[in-house]
Structure 1
Amino acid sequence: MGRKSTIHRLAPETKSYIEAMLATGAQTLDELIADLQERFPAEARAGGLPSRSALHRYGSKLDRRLAAIKASTEAARMISEHAGDSQDARSEALTALVQTELFEAILNLQEADDPDHDAGERVGMLSAAAKNIATLTRSSVNLKKFQAEVAEAARKKAFAEAAQQAAETAKQQGLSKTGVEALRAAILGAL
């Protein structure tokens, strides 16, 4: 494994500043380097500030992460706007989205030869992902159970309303009380 990026070795304050500046895109890389040299002169003198290429690599990774967060947020917003919530369809869609993202992240982690993560870190990240997947799977199972209960309750309600309507119509048409009860029992028996 390669060594850690110079950005990961910086003081947290410096790293946070770099991340904020890269995220806003307010400066070119050359402007950012000049700004860092002015803002953090002690680190600049010690040769601890990142190079232009290190900033570019880190900025590219940060851009991918921000794009993924933005896409997930947009997808969640669209799901929220377009999905009814009687069966918690939004949660189902979000669970599927998270499952997809976790699966892709695990594949990327397995395929990546990222010098920023040693083998121990990779194992720890996979372990954390596995724990989150287990939680997500339990959530998915509970969601399916909830959806089945909602569907069953809706089905029972529909049959009860149909039985009531049929009984009222049959009664108006002159069906005997025994006939109305038999009709109602036949409809409700379909449950």
Structure 2
Amino acid sequence: MARKSSIDRLPENVKAYVTGLLADGKMTLDELIADLQARFPEEAAADALPSRSAVHRYGAKLERRLAAIRASTEAAKIIRAQAGDGEDARSEALTALIQTELFEAILDVQEASADEIDPAERVGMLSSAAKNVATLTRSSVTLKRFQSEVRAKLEAKMAALEAEGSSGKGRRFDAETLRIVREEIYGIV
């Protein structure tokens, strides 16, 4: 097993400080090393602080991780903005796809002859499939409940806007505009 890096062997408070400075990116490596030596004189005196090259390697690894996190966060923001999925329709589609595949796999197992699949193995496969179906069913029920709650909240807000618009108080909303928003944008009929 490889030896831990000198950064990983630092006391937790020192490691957190180094990580914070590297993530901040406002200091050069030389400035960071000088700052560490000034801030942690006991570790510097004991020669326990990492070398410039160790800090550089750790910083490069940290930057790769941070870049991956930034990229996935940005992708999630773009997907959310472009595919506004307040009701989580993607999860619904994924669950349906997996349920279909499991159903087909179960049919294949049932249709296989005793020569193709050992009866004990068949029972094990069906048992495993049943557990997965149960998990998917719970997931589907939870998703449907969530979608229903989102729909109810949306309908309540739209009704409140319609009432506010027709009462003459506060903001004024044209009934046709609200109908378009309700039916064409949110799909509520």
* Greater RCO (Cα-Cα under 8 Å, separation 6 or more): 1
TM-score by length of 1: 0.48
TM-score by length of 2: 0.48
